[in-house]
Amino acid sequence: MKNGKLQIGIIGCGGIANRKHLPSLKSQSDKCDIVAFCDIILERAQKAAKEFGAENAKVYEDYKKLLKDPEIDVVHVCTPNVSHCPITVAAFEAGKHVMCEKPMAATTEDAMKMMDAWRKSGKKFTIGYQNRFRTDVQALKRACEEGKLGEIYFAKAHAVRRRAVPTWGVFPDKSKQGGGPLIDIGTHALDITLWCMDNYKPASITGSVFEKLGHLPEAAEGNMFGPWDPNTYEVEDSAFGYIKMENGATIFLESSWALNVKESREAATTLCGTKAGAEIIGGMSQEGYDLVFNQTTGGVLTEERISDAGAIAFFESTAGGTPEIKECRQWLEAILNDKEPLVKPEQAFVVTQILDTIYKAAAEGKEIKLK
């Protein structure tokens, strides 16, 4: 630390860094300075340093050189999915705290290497699941903790877009991302579902992965981000998983960038319990999110709707600002006050394990039982 502030290094200065991490860190200037920037395209690092960096911020093309700087306390890993593992492991070995953008890794094996390195390091570790910091998700989590839903035995994790294939960066590149919508947006829906259920013990998984629309030129018309190139589209356009937990609870996960459905529903969940049910409704076809509880009241079926604007923050250090700013503030305070971050590595590991197993189960055409 320097002048009572955490010294931050950013590895990867692309879209997620510029849209999420850098503005959020900049908003916490009383707690941190962004002193180092790294990108394989040097101009991107230079641009980010000029816009968000502290005075005399350093710029690198090689993340290993950034990690050698003893003044850097914290590293944010904002690179494509398959590079999360080697960079994070190296950061822990260099004695840094690490926030890694979601998902933790592209494979279970890589995620385990990251967990091992973290445990040896004694440093803080979290994954970028900012949707937990939405007020509707926090309200649902609190309701689950208070037993409003009873035993939650069935859930759906929703990450469905009608036509919103990302056409920038490396999203369609399987060698860099490890997959498509399942690993990209399915990961958020699964994270909030598992977190609200407080159930991280999957027993068996089956899956279906489809590459139906990505290679059709006519399907690319009407895409929210402009037509994609069918010739360079290498990942699935939709994927579905059926997850059975050790206690018998079941989760259905749906994900797509392109699917012939009427409405989108993204970073949302449906929970069914013995006392009541709850749904978060939202997505790219709807502005904001709604939280709806359904139950029996006075002998009749009733619904209780809570809008995003009406929900309140229930967790320490999350009041005020966007979910991204709340996430950033809570992460920095976890380091400064030696507390656990809200998104724990053990939880993020299970998300990666499930996603990876859905891909494997689909490829093998069978149910896979987990140890």
Q: In this predicted structure, what is the pLDDT of residue 306?
A: 79
- The per-residue pLDDT for 282 is 85
Domain final residue pick, 85, 113, 128: 128
- Residue 176 sits in the same domain as residue 316: yes
Rg (Cα) of the chain, in Å, rounded?
20
State residue 14's pLDDT score.
95
Q: What is the pLDDT of residue 349?
A: 98
Please report whether residue 340 resides in a domain: no
Structural domain tally of the chain?
Answer: 2
Same domain, yes or no: 292 and 165: yes
Q: How many CB atoms lie within 10 A of CB 147?
A: 12
Q: Is the same domain home to 194 and 106?
A: no
Q: Residue 93 sits in which domain range? A: 6-128
- Which of 186, 47, 28 is closest to 103 using CA atoms? 186
CATH number of the domain that residue 86 is part of: 3.40.50.720
Q: Which pLDDT value is given to residue 157? A: 98
Q: Among 63, 95, 128, where does a domain finish?
A: 128
**Whole-number pLDDT of residue 319:** 52
The length of the chain is 371
Question: What tokens appear for 346 in the block?
Answer: 């053990």
- Whether the Cβ atoms of residue 128 and residue 100 lie closer than 8 Å to each other: yes
By the 8 A CB rule, do 202 and 147 touch?
no
Other C-beta atoms closer than 10 Å to the C-beta of 12 total 25
Asked whether residue 339 is assigned to any structural domain, the reply reads no
**Residue 343 domain flag:** no
- Tens place of pLDDT per residue across the chain (371 aa): 898 999 999 999 999 999 999 999 999 999 999 999 999 999 999 999 999 999 999 999 999 999 999 999 999 999 999 999 999 999 999 999 999 999 999 999 999 999 999 999 999 999 999 999 999 999 999 999 999 999 999 999 999 999 999 999 899 999 999 999 999 999 999 999 999 999 999 999 999 999 999 999 999 989 999 999 999 999 999 999 999 999 999 999 999 999 999 989 999 999 999 999 999 998 776 777 899 999 998 999 999 987 654 444 434 444 568 999 999 999 999 999 999 999 999 999 999 999 999 999 999 999 999 98
CB 181 within 8 A of CB 212: no
Residues 300 and 231 in one domain: yes
Indicate the residue among 79, 98, 128 that finishes a domain: 128
Entry pTM: 0.95
CATH number at residue 166: 3.30.360.10
* Same-domain pairing of 357 and 292: yes
Residues 169 and 310 in one domain: yes
